[in-house]
Amino acid sequence: MNIEQAKAIPISEILNRVGLKPTRCNNQESWFLSPLRAEKTASFHVHNEKNLWFDFGEAIGGDTVRLAQAILQSQCQANSVSDALKWLDRLIGSNVVFVKFEKQPEIKKQPVYSLDYVSPITRPQLIHYLHRRGIPLSLGQHYLKQACVLNTNTGRLITALAWDTENGGLELTKPGFKASVGAKTISFIRGQKSKPPGIHIFEGMMDYLSAITQLEGRPFQDDTIILNSVSNMTQILPYLYQYGYSVGYTWMDNDEAGRKAQNALTHIFKQEHSLMVHTPMNEVYRPFKDVNAWHMQKLGL
Burial category of 64 from C-beta neighbours within 10 Å (exposed 0-12, middle 13-18, buried 19 and up): buried
Beta strands in 33-176 (DSSP E): 44-47, 52-55, 60-62, 113-119, 145-151, 156-164, 170-174
The reply to whether 167 and 202 lie within a common domain is no
User: Has residue 99 got a pLDDT over 70?
Assistant: no
The reply to whether 215 and 180 lie within a common domain is no
Among 54, 52, 51, smallest CA distance to 42 is for 54
pLDDT band at 95 (very low <50, low <70, confident <90, very high): very low
In a domain, 97, yes or no: no
Query: Phi then psi for 31, rounded to 5 degrees?
Result: -125, 135
Q: What is the CATH number of the domain that holds 257?
A: 3.40.1360.10
Q: Cβ–Cβ contacts within 10 Å for residue 16, how many?
A: 14
Question: What rounded mean pLDDT belongs to the chain?
Answer: 88
In a domain, 133, yes or no: yes
Give the domain range for residue 145. Answer: 109-184
CA distance 100 to 91: 12
Residues forming a β-bridge with 248: 199, 278
Q: Cβ–Cβ contacts within 10 Å for residue 36, how many?
A: 20
The reply to whether 76 and 179 lie within a common domain is no
Please count the helices (runs of H) and the strands (runs of E) in the chain.
Answer: 11, 15
Among 76, 78, 79, 44, smallest CA distance to 59 is for 44
- Could you report the per-residue pLDDT of 104-114, keeping only the tens digit for each? 454 455 678 99
The reply to whether 192 and 296 lie within a common domain is yes
The reply to whether 86 and 69 lie within a common domain is yes
The reply to whether 205 and 299 lie within a common domain is yes
- Could you report the per-residue pLDDT of 213-265, keeping only the tens digit for each? 999 989 999 999 999 998 888 888 888 876 778 899 999 999 988 998 898 88
Q: pTM of the full predicted structure?
A: 0.73
| ∠ Cα 59 60 66 (to 5°) | 170
Give, as one character, the DSSP assignment of residue 231: G
Burial category of 230 from C-beta neighbours within 10 Å (exposed 0-12, middle 13-18, buried 19 and up): buried
> Reading across the β-sheet that carries 277-280, which strands appear in turn?
187-189, 223-226, 198-202, 247-251, 277-280
In a domain, 104, yes or no: no
In a domain, 100, yes or no: no
In a domain, 102, yes or no: no
At which of 64, 92, 120 does a domain end? 92
At which of 152, 184, 216 does a domain end? 184
The reply to whether 168 and 215 lie within a common domain is no
Query: Phi then psi for 2, rounded to 5 degrees?
Result: -100, 180
Q: What is the pLDDT of residue 204?
A: 96
Q: How many domains does the chain have?
A: 3
Residue 280 in contact with residue 262, Cβ under 8 Å?
A: yes
The reply to whether 200 and 245 lie within a common domain is yes
In a domain, 191, yes or no: yes
Residue 50 in contact with residue 41, Cβ under 8 Å?
A: no
Q: Which of 23-37, 136-150, 184-198 has the lowest mean pLDDT?
A: 23-37
Among 201, 239, 194, smallest CA distance to 221 is for 194
In a domain, 240, yes or no: yes
